[in-house]
Amino acid sequence: MRIILLGAPGAGKGTQAQFISSTFNIPQISTGDMLRAAINEGTPLGMEAKKIMDDGKLVSDEIILELVKERLDRHDCKNGCLFDGFPRTIAQAEALKNDSIKIDHVIDINVNDDEIIKRMSGRRVHLSSGRTYHVLFNPPAQEGLDDVTGEPLVQREDDSEQTVRKRLEVYHCQTAPLIDYYQKWEQSGDPEAPRFSSVNGTGSVEQIKNSILDILRS
C-alpha cells in the first residue's frame, strides 16, 4: 500500500503519519531524509545532489524522483510506504504518474486556514527543555511561564502568525492544487488512479486516526 498524505502545515499530518506507518508496518519516505542518506552514503545521486545544494540551488524534480525510485526498491518498502511531503507540486505528481509509480491512496486532512493559524500561532515553548504548550489547548499553569522551572516561554518565529500565513500561501499556491488533481484523476475512471479521500482534520486526534484507518482498511 502506497499512500500520499496531503494537508496544510499544522493540519496534523505528522501525527497521523506515525499511526499509519506503525499500523501497516510501512516506512515514511521523506525527500529530505532521502537526500541526507544519499549524500552520507556517497551514492552517485547523492553526490550530484550535494554539488547542486553546495552551489545554493534547488535539487531538481528529476533527481528527487530517482531518489524515490531507489528508496522504493529497498526491502522495507515491500509492503508499501507513506510519502511524507512528496509530491509537493503538480509537476512532481505528474512525474510519479509518467514513471508508472503506483499510488494506492491519497488522503487529504482538511483543516481551514483560521484553525491552522489558531493552532500554530498559539504554540509556546520552553527552549531549554523543549516542553511545549498552547495558549488555548494546553496552557501553562501560569500564563507565559514554564510549569516546571517558572522560566519564560517563547513563541518560535516559525509559529508567528505572519510566518504561518506565508507558509499557508505557499501551500495553497504549490500543493493544494494536488487535491483537485487527484480527485479528477480518480473521477476519470483510469484504473491506475489512486483512491482519493478527504477527512475532517478538526476533530480529536483519535477521531481523525480512526477515519483514516477506516478508509485504508475498506
Residues 69, 78, 156, 184: which is the catalytic one?
Answer: 156
For residue 118, the surrounding DSSP H or E stretch is: helix 113-121
Identify the CA nearest to 35 among candidates 101, 103, 84, 104: 84
78 is catalytic: no
Q: How far apart are CA 15 and CA 36, in angstroms?
A: 22
Helix, coil or strand: residue 76:
helix
Q: Is 124 a known active-site residue?
A: no
Q: Which residues, listed in sequence order, are joined to residue 109 by a DSSP beta bridge?
A: 199
Write out the three cell numbers for 169: 500561501
In DSSP terms, 154 is beta-bridged to 125
Q: In whole angstroms, what is the distance from residue 115 CA to residue 61 CA?
A: 32
Distance of CA 175 to the CA centre of its chain: 11
Q: Residue 217 catalytic? A: no
Catalytic, 156? Answer yes
Active site residue 167: yes
97, 123, 124, 209: the active-site residue? 123
Catalytic, out of 50, 88, 118, 131: 88
Catalytic entry in 50, 165, 167, 195: 167
DSSP codes joined into one string, 36-97 = HHHHHHT-HHHHHHHHHHHTT-PPPHHHHHHHHHHHHTSGGGTT-EEEES---SHHHHHHHH
Among 2, 13, 71, 209, the one annotated catalytic: 13
Catalytic residues: 13, 88, 123, 156, 167
